[in-house]
Amino acid sequence: MKAFITGITGQDGYYLSELLISKGYEVHGAIRRSSSINTQRIDELISKYEDSNKFNLHYSDLLDPSSLSNLINVIEPDEVYNLGAQSHVAVSFKNPLYTTQTSALGPITLLEAIKNSKKNIKYYQASSSEMFGGVNKDSLNEESKFIPKSPYAAGKVFAHDITKIYRESYGLFATNGILFNHESPYRGETFVTRKITKAVGRIYYKIQSKLTLGNLDASRDWGFAGDYVKGMYKMLQHNEPDDWVLATGETHSVKEFAQLAFKEVGLNWEDYVETSSKYERPNEVEHLLGDPAKANKELGWKPETSFESLVKMMVENDLKSAEKEKVLVNENLLNPTWENPSIN
């Protein structure tokens, strides 16, 4: 089996590649040319499979249609996982066109290439709980209404709809995985969970003094990325294409996440966390809670990692990296620039 993954350098790209390789797949991934190295998460896979055809990378971009259709023709994948996106909701307000183009044009280009190939290629679209908008405290499922609140979410709604349209119009095996937030030690450092656990590690080792966040009352249904990629895979093995929600069925506030993360190292979060409107969004998604019953019933999928284990896993990882950073800071080999908060 061959899989083609866009967004392979991202959090989910790493976990999905590992999973598919363990199942005997030949994995192909699209990477973007970048002025700085963007393969940190998958470097381990690159070197491990250097002498085999199990893990292969190709330059491409979701905004370069010819490169995507060429890759579909050359690789002849059995499955395409479209994970690529400008995935930061706050940044999508600053770069709305770019965000929408990657979210919307990428999927339609891939679906066209699959349709034109006349091969039975299965397609997975990375849909998002952000599409629901989080306007009340209801538990959300595949039937819930989409009320997008950001350019990111609006682009994802388009991609979700076009995936369904290609499924219904042309009989493509095109699925949408509506995934609620999922995190890990590989999570991007400007998403709130990782921003918190990175800061906890550095504060513990006294190379950071405070953590500045935005809306502490927002709540999310947070799961572990390693569990969620198993659900993506299961969707493409199902006998019929469809749409499925993956979530834990629990929601926690940003405040609760911070409280627990600081508690892991014996610190009181209130001594270190401050807030700034700089990290607030023009249109906030206040509350998200998912209902994974359909995925549980039809795919046999369930989350395996609790909220507490997730926080612990992320804190432990970031403690180890902060310990190494402290050595470099003490030897003046590293400038602790994280004291000046990033722009998102």
Does residue 128 touch ligand GDR according to CB under 6 A?
Answer: yes
Does residue 86 touch ligand NDP according to CB under 6 A?
Answer: yes
Of the two residues 113 and 157, which places its CB atom closer to ligand GDR in the complex? 157
Does residue 305 touch ligand GDR according to CB under 6 A?
Answer: no
Of the two residues 13 and 201, which places its CB atom closer to ligand NDP in the complex? 13
**Least distance (Å) between residue 83 CB and ligand NDP:** 4
Does residue 218 touch ligand GDR according to CB under 6 A?
Answer: yes
Using CB under 6 A, pick the residue from 20, 27, 42, 126 that binds ligand NDP. Answer: 126
Does residue 17 come out as left (phi exceeding 0), alpha (psi in the -120 to 50 range) or beta? alpha
Catalytic residue among 130, 183, 264, 325: 130
Q: Is 130 a catalytic residue?
A: yes
Instruction: Report H helices in 192-304.
Output: 192-204, 225-237, 254-264, 293-299
Using CB under 6 A, pick the residue from 102, 125, 129, 259 that binds ligand GDR. Answer: 129
Q: Is 128 a catalytic residue?
A: yes
Tokens of residue 224, six digits = 């572990």
* C-alpha gyration radius of the chain: 20
d(CA 124, CA 132): 19
**C-alpha torsion sign, points 255, 260, 263, 265:** negative
**Least distance (Å) between residue 123 CB and ligand GDR:** 18
Q: Is the distance from CB of 125 to CB of 159 less than 8 angstroms?
A: yes
Burial 39-59 (b: 16+ CB within 10 A, else e): bebbeebeeebeeeebbbbbe
- Measured from each CB, the residue nearest to ligand NDP is 10
Using CB under 6 A, pick the residue from 2, 238, 263, 281 that binds ligand GDR. Answer: 281
What stretch of H or E contains 308? helix 307-330
Residues at the contact surface with ligand NDP, assessed by CB under 6 A: 6-13, 32, 34, 38, 61-63, 83-87, 102, 126, 128, 179, 181-182, 188
